[in-house]
Structure 1
Amino acid sequence: MIFIILLLNLVIGLIVSRLVKKEPQIAGSGIPQVEGQLQDELTLSWFAILWRKFIAGVLSIGSGLMLGREGPSIQLGASVGQGVGEILKVDHRQKKSLIAAGAASGLAAAFNAPLAGVMFVLEEIYHSFSSFIWLSALAGAVLADAVSTVVFGQKPVLAVGNLPDIPVHIYGLLLIFGLVLGLLAFLYQKTLLASQTAYKLTRLPKYMNGFIPLILVIPVGLFWSAGLGGGNSLILSLGQHVPTLKILLAMVIVRFVFSMISYGSGLPGGIFLPILTLGALNGALIGQAFVQLGWLSGDYRIDFVVIGMAAYFAAIGKAPFTAIILIFEMVGSVTHVLPLAFVSLVAYLVVDALNGAPIYESLLDRLLQNEKQAKDRSELSAVTIPVLAGSSLADQTITNLVWPVPSIITGIKRGDRELMPSGQIILRPGDVITIRTTKVDAHAIRQHFLTVS
């Protein structure tokens, strides 16, 4: 039986490695690639990605690896949006809107959480609350959720049931909880990036690294089959029974280590759901520790599981609104928004104090380092940047702006008006400016002007 499973996984490895070799941009979750597209830093072939990502993602995730389907769903949705735009021959701005709508639809369908799908695109992928983007994203997310709910009969994948309300006197424990989760989130960020570097030591071609987790998953599955996959069934099981501290600690270690092995290999699959699973396990572990210390009633352990999911993802992705809305949509309890927000904020601030960057942004940076080598330094790109309150753009005249690389402002949009750029125009928060620069320098421009002091 073990031999058959090994043979099957080797066949899966061969198929996936061939697909990744032909189209390297299907590797990983796909979210950094979509983010790069919306920032005009990557140009991708939608059809080549669409069918290859679907097949490779199904095989990789279906093999039991600790990868999530949400990232691939987002990239598949974005590819469909890009394809529609190219078939209809819409302009570049409208095509980006369709890509964003497709990405939001992918997450909404995966989680049955349309608002979280929209917020994730705005907060994590597009980095702007542009009405042009959020309207199309909302329309796509609602329609995708309706299809998955009405046609396929799906329900929110992490619906854990009713939660007891958290009393005020427990907020001291929630503060400790947030601090610990922040440290664990920072550890996750650094380890995930290091895992990609570690695979270089194998000296295998990058597209063949997937054989390693496909072989290692077999002994893991023999000893703990319930722990395989993205982890949604594991999260739901915590709502029914919370294991002992030793078992929870072992579960956290195994999930953490094998998540790094799975994603670091570059196999098509995401980290979204695995992050939520680790957050839930960490929440159960810390909650159980508080119970055994006599600081917490056992009735509130499930609250720590749910809050752990939100806060852990908020800190790792530095997307607190997405995390809070996602869990709110699944749990459906307004009374838990405050503790969710409180712990998420504490964990976020810990990561921020340690100079941790959003994980998808860090993964995009890694991706662009390789892409830049192949770019023509003279090829131009149009970069669209929102003027954020507190950024170096806000309340400044164009003449006084400090440019990191040679560039020129070619357009200013203020509400529904298009302004003619001139040196004396004062940029206001909420404006959207278009900058012309080389493709190589586009990322430096975005990083410089989107940084909020």
Structure 2
Amino acid sequence: MSLALSARNKRRIRITSSRWQRRGIFLLGGVGVGCAAVALAKLADLAQVAFADLLSISRYIALLITPIGFGLSIFLTRRFFPNAQGSGIPQAIAARQLTDQTAREALVSMRIAIGKILLTLLGLLCGASVGREGPTVQVGASIMFALGRFSPRRQPGLILAGAAAGVAAAFNTPLAGIVFGIEEMSRAYETRTSSLIIAAVIAAGLTSLALMGNYAYFGTSVMALRSGYDWLAIPLCGVIGGGLGGLFSRVVIAMARGFANPLGRGIKRFPVAFATVCGLAVAITGILSGDTIYGTGYSQVRAALETGTPLPGSFGILKLIATTFASISGIPGGIFAPSLAVGAGFGSDVASLFPGSSVAAIMLLGMVSYFAGVVQAPITAFVIVTEMTDNHTMVVPLMTAAMIAYATSRLVCREGIYHALAAGYHSDGLGAKSRTV
């Protein structure tokens, strides 16, 4: 009897110890992701300031620096950090779905995390229209994978938690981090790991708050649609944003898969040269925009939202062109922030059709619509825009615009961009060396 009780107690202690160890890994990983997100955010700002300083010498210096930077980024990625290209979210999705340990490690590892940070900063330093939020997702997944590499059974949950924590810490949007994990990363609600994922998001969020303070990414505002007439902007933004977002996704997916014609074979054979040409296209676009489309687009959009002043009429289309070239080049960098900037530009254009309306409110509709059209994750889209502006009066309009944009985007592009790109990594987890995007 006493021996049976003793055995039972030992088993209980082992189970309890295992549970606390699992919780500790998620919490420790969340803190690590939060620190990495803050470090990348600070360094990204410095990189963009450094590029602006170079432009102050001569705005035409971009014609030299940007193409060279793109070519160098692709060379370093392929030579030293394969599978660090693009936003990094497709790699995190694929790593979570793979079962082979070696294949997972080829997509999320500390080596890739370091490369991702360095090469994303290089992209911003040379004026690429990329963001840091997608890379933070891959970095977060890599940190969690490293902590749980000796426990393969827990790795899918750890990768999911790292990705969600990355979004939460990058934007200071904890709810969006959780929703992103459910809607985009897993496309299902997992009861077994949900509490641990939330714990990781909280840990990352608290770390970010401790280091950077509480803030709304695009500032705090109470902007709203003023009349029934203004509400016509909702379906208009939804259709335009969703259509353009779907078109962007379709182009990026097609370029990633490659073409069988001579041009497609040439791009695959000479990726550094192709990236250099894309960099030149971004530099030309930047000069045409008056140097407004380089980098994330954060400062331009925040200033427009806070003052309620329209963005330049060409900002949306030129930012879209620059982001497209940056994305198809394959350089490491995300599309979250640039997509929001593109949407703000088109929202500003739509606002000109509604005299007397709140320009900032319609810009928000454009942001959520284009973003939902690109990622085809409407819940994540309206939650993230709501949290980033600390504006709850626009929840229903943003929700509606996101759903219209999602439906429109599906007519243009049947696949969500992240999952379509992730499919290219499923076969062996190593094939991305030869991928363009």
TM-score bracket for the superposition, by shorter chain length = 0.7 to 0.9
The structure 2 residue matched to 1:43, chosen from 104, 110, 119, is 104
The structure 2 residue matched to 1:264, chosen from 328, 340, 359, is 328
What whole-Å deviation, never above 9, does each CA across 1:369-411 have from its counterpart, x for those lacking one? 785979xxxxxxxxxxxxxxxxxxxxxxxxxxxxxxxxxxxxx
Change (3 A) 1:306 1:261: same
8 Å Cα contact 1:35-1:125 kept in structure 2: yes
Letter in 1 for 2:137: I
Letter in 1 for 2:78: V
Confirm whether residue 105 of structure 1 aligns to residue 165 of structure 2: yes
- Aligned pairs for 1:3-14 within 5 A: 6=64, 10=68, 13-14=71-72
Match of 2:388 in 1: 330
What whole-Å deviation, never above 9, does each CA across 1:402-452 have from its counterpart, x for those lacking one? xxxxxxxxxxxxxxxxxxxxxxxxxxxxxxxxxxxxxxxxxxxxxxxxxxx
Change (3 A) 1:7 1:60: closer
In structure 2, what is the Cα distance between the partners aligned to 1:165 and 1:289?
14
Match of 2:122 in 1: 59
Letter in 2 for 1:181: G
3-state SS of the aligned residue for 2:215?
A: coil
Question: What TM-score does the superposition give when structure 2 sets the normalisation length?
Answer: 0.75
Match of 1:404 in 2: none
Deviation at 1:130, TM superposition (A): 0.6
Confirm whether residue 210 of structure 1 aligns to residue 270 of structure 2: no
Match of 1:284 in 2: 348
8 Å Cα contact 2:95-2:429 kept in structure 1: no
Identity across the alignment (%): 27
8 Å Cα contact 1:195-1:260 kept in structure 2: no
Q: Which has the higher contact order (CA 8 A, sep 6+)?
A: 2
Confirm whether residue 351 of structure 1 aligns to residue 422 of structure 2: no
Letter in 1 for 2:276: F
What whole-Å deviation, never above 9, does each CA across 1:93-135 have from its counterpart, x for those lacking one? 3122221111112111111111101111111111111123332
The structure 1 residue matched to 2:247, chosen from 187, 193, 207, is 187
Change (3 A) 1:47 1:208: farther
The structure 2 residue matched to 1:318, chosen from 363, 367, 376, is 376
Match of 1:255 in 2: 319
What whole-Å deviation, never above 9, does each CA across 1:162-198 have from its counterpart, x for those lacking one? 2135444533342233223222222222222344448
8 Å Cα contact 1:70-1:107 kept in structure 2: yes
Match of 1:275 in 2: 339
8 Å Cα contact 1:61-1:69 kept in structure 2: no
> Is 231-240 or 174-183 further displaced after alignment?
174-183
8 Å Cα contact 1:74-1:107 kept in structure 2: yes
Confirm whether residue 238 of structure 1 aligns to residue 304 of structure 2: yes
Change (3 A) 1:371 1:83: closer
- Aligned pairs for 1:68-79 within 5 A: 68-79=131-142
Change (3 A) 1:214 1:319: same
8 Å Cα contact 2:230-2:354 kept in structure 1: no
Match of 1:80 in 2: 143
Deviation at 1:220, TM superposition (A): 4.3
Confirm whether residue 364 of structure 1 aligns to residue 422 of structure 2: yes
- Aligned pairs for 1:370-409 within 5 A: none
Letter in 2 for 1:19: T
> Is 41-50 or 122-131 further displaced after alignment?
41-50
3-state SS of the aligned residue for 2:394?
A: helix
What whole-Å deviation, never above 9, does each CA across 1:44-92 have from its counterpart, x for those lacking one? 2412212211211111123221011111100001000000002xx22x2
Letter in 2 for 1:146: L
Letter in 2 for 1:225: D
Deviation at 1:259, TM superposition (A): 0.8
Letter in 1 for 2:105: L
> Is 108-117 or 129-138 further displaced after alignment?
129-138
Change (3 A) 1:215 1:131: same
In structure 2, what is the Cα distance between the partners aligned to 1:352 and 1:155?
34
Change (3 A) 1:19 1:372: closer
Question: What TM-score does the superposition give when structure 1 sets the normalisation length?
Answer: 0.72
| Larger helix fraction of residues | 2
3-state SS of the aligned residue for 1:229?
A: coil
Change (3 A) 1:349 1:12: closer
Change (3 A) 1:77 1:208: farther
Q: Structure 1: 5+ residue runs without aligned partners?
A: 292-296, 375-453
8 Å Cα contact 2:293-2:322 kept in structure 1: no
Deviation at 1:209, TM superposition (A): 3.6
Change (3 A) 1:208 1:152: farther
In structure 2, what is the Cα distance between the partners aligned to 1:226 and 1:373?
36
Deviation at 1:210, TM superposition (A): 3.0
In structure 1, what is the Cα distance between the partners aligned to 2:393 and 2:425?
41
In structure 2, what is the Cα distance between the partners aligned to 1:256 and 1:226?
12
Match of 2:7 in 1: none
> Is 29-38 or 362-371 further displaced after alignment?
362-371
In structure 2, what is the Cα distance between the partners aligned to 1:317 and 1:186?
8
Change (3 A) 1:15 1:362: closer
Match of 1:442 in 2: none
Change (3 A) 1:353 1:256: closer
Deviation at 1:30, TM superposition (A): 0.5
Change (3 A) 1:221 1:349: closer
Change (3 A) 1:59 1:123: same
In structure 2, what is the Cα distance between the partners aligned to 1:11 and 1:255?
19
Tell me how many residue pairs correspond in the alignment.
Answer: 362
Letter in 2 for 1:338: V
In structure 1, what is the Cα distance between the partners aligned to 2:166 and 2:211?
16
Change (3 A) 1:137 1:318: same
What whole-Å deviation, never above 9, does each CA across 1:239-291 have from its counterpart, x for those lacking one? 225347xx41x222211111111110100001111111111111111111233
Confirm whether residue 121 of structure 1 aligns to residue 184 of structure 2: no
Change (3 A) 1:178 1:214: closer
3-state SS of the aligned residue for 1:158?
A: coil
Match of 1:31 in 2: 89
Deviation at 1:154, TM superposition (A): 6.0
